[in-house]
Chains A and B, each alone.
Chain A
Amino acid sequence: MLILTCPNCGVAADETELGSGGEAHLTRFGAGSSDADFENYLFMRKNARGVHFERWRHSYGCGKWFHAARCTTTLEVFGTYPAQTTEPPAELIEKIKQKRPDFEGFSK
């Protein structure tokens, strides 16, 4: 069972309490953007095999959104952090790099 600690309320919630929101830190494109940008924003995903940054919602808890860094091949959770950011915190990246020397860091 996947367990993530919600940074908003501090509860260690298991996945039945959570809703997955998919890849995090997408750059939004709306009306007036090019077709390619819009397609990229709506459909194209990194679908990383390894370190993945994603959005989660503590649906059956505090109800708030947050971010998590997780490995999609081992399900190891590296950490969670608040939703009010456009990229993962530097100390979390550092922590992941120590565990996964071949991790190249976050890129958009």
Chain B
Amino acid sequence: MRRYSAFAIAREAARYHTGWERAWASPEPKSEYDVIIVGAGGHGLATAYYLGKNFGITNVAIIEKGWLGGGNTGRNTTIIRSNYLQDPSAAIYEKARSLYETMSQDLNYNVMFSPRGVMMLAQTEHEIRGYQRTAHANALQGVATEFIGPEKVKELCPIIELKGPRFPVLGALWQPRAGTARHDAVAWGYARACSDMGMHIIQKCEVTGVHQDNGKVTGVETTKGRIGCKKLGMVVAGNASALTDMAGFRIPLESVALQALVSEPIKPCMDVVVMANTVHGYLSQSDKGEMVIGGGTDGFNNYTQRGSFHHIEETVRALVETFPMISRLKMLRQWGGIVDVTGDRSPIIGKTPLGNTFINCGWGTGGFKAIPGSGWAFAETIAKGEPGELAAPFGMDRFIEGRFIDESVAAGVAH
């Protein structure tokens, strides 16, 4: 792999950019690999990358039914934060956030990480108490957050209306080192690094069956034929249940549609991310100038990658109240992604009933921010056959033990 650098740009400029090579190869599948990862989204690619980087396992295939990063990795609102209440969540999300800080250097690929700061508005008395509690928890966990008053909110984000008619802004939980990153670039950067280590990224290759022998997986049946493996990692987000059905076990997940939308691009007007959980909406401005808006999930099982229109109306209505200046913006695009939601709104990372098969799913409405931490922890789980310190609390057995990592209360909607 040729490294990207200022010198590379100068060299290519001198020869009409004829020397750039493809960022990753698209080989035909071999008959067997040490590890197969199903799902070439951010989490799957990050898992493969850390398998190679941290454990030297490079005989790996990453199989994707669509195109690379075309699922929720390319459909989220790119927010990265780690201000979680529960210790296991704070640990893995903070690991992810810290890996994002050095990701561009690490991958030699500009993921445009922008630690612009994230604030979560407190708009009811309950939220004030909740976020103060989270700020104290974060102090103990070593995650830098603080609870700020309305004046500081206005100073950080001048376009905000503090005295909205329904939900005035009473304060916010502020994480200054949180921010955003270019979501596609995260997938592309990991893919390029994986390909460079000799891993095979196989797109447009759907898994249609899971071959087993004596309680162990021996390979997967795909639209490109049978591919054997010694270990299998399932990282397919909203389609996790469909894949585990093929493997013959059930998981505690339900898939629903989550929507987002962007406005027409305007001049820079806000340089922080604002989340308003009481009214189900969040807002940031992309580098292109579009206002990026995330909303709520549909209440019913759904695999359509669309979502119901009335949720857009609810989200936009609430955001117009808090940000009156967006009221006359035109909306450019709207889309949906299928998110996999668990009973306690925390992910599942760990072992499955099949000995050499591991699963990473259930990131629900907030997976993008976790990509590097999730890949780090899941790679360790696959390589060692046992979850490490980061992944251990997220095993599926927590549901039978009643040992929940209850973030549905801590994080509200915008998880």
**Chain A residues within CB distance 8 Å of chain B:** 1-2, 15-16, 19-20, 22-23, 35-36, 39-40, 42-49, 52, 54, 70, 72-75
Contacts and interface: CB of A to CB of B under 8 A. Distances in A.
A49 B252 contact: no
B308 A1 contact: yes
Given A36-B400, A44-B252, A45-B254, A20 B299 contact: yes
A75 B343 contact: no
A84 to B, nearest CB: 22
B279 interface: no
A42 B400 CA distance: 10
Interface in B187-233: none
Contacts of B255: 47, 49, 72
A43 B241 contact: no
B301 interface: yes
22 contacts: A2-B308, A15-B299, A23-B301, A39-B252, A39-B399, A43-B342, A44-B250, A44-B251, A45-B241, A45-B252, A45-B254, A47-B254, A47-B301, A48-B241, A49-B303, A54-B301, A70-B300, A72-B255, A72-B302, A73-B304, A74-B304, A75-B302
B148 to A, nearest CB: 36
Contact of A42 (B302, B309, B310, B343): B343
B242 A43 contact: no
Contacts of A40: 250
Contacts of A75: 302, 304
A5 to B, nearest CB: 16
A45 B251 CA distance: 7
Contacts of B400: 35-36, 39
Contacts of B241: 45-49
Interface residues of B, number: 22
B239 interface: yes
Given A49-B239, A49-B242, A1 B254 contact: no
B292 interface: no
A108 B251 CA distance: 15
B119 interface: no
Contacts of B342: 43
A15 B310 contact: yes
A60 to B, nearest CB: 13
A73 B241 CA distance: 14
B253 A19 contact: no
B146 to A, nearest CB: 36
A36 B303 CA distance: 28
A100 B380 CA distance: 42
A37 B345 CA distance: 21
A73 B303 contact: yes
B310 A43 contact: no
A15 B299 CA distance: 9
B135 to A, nearest CB: 31
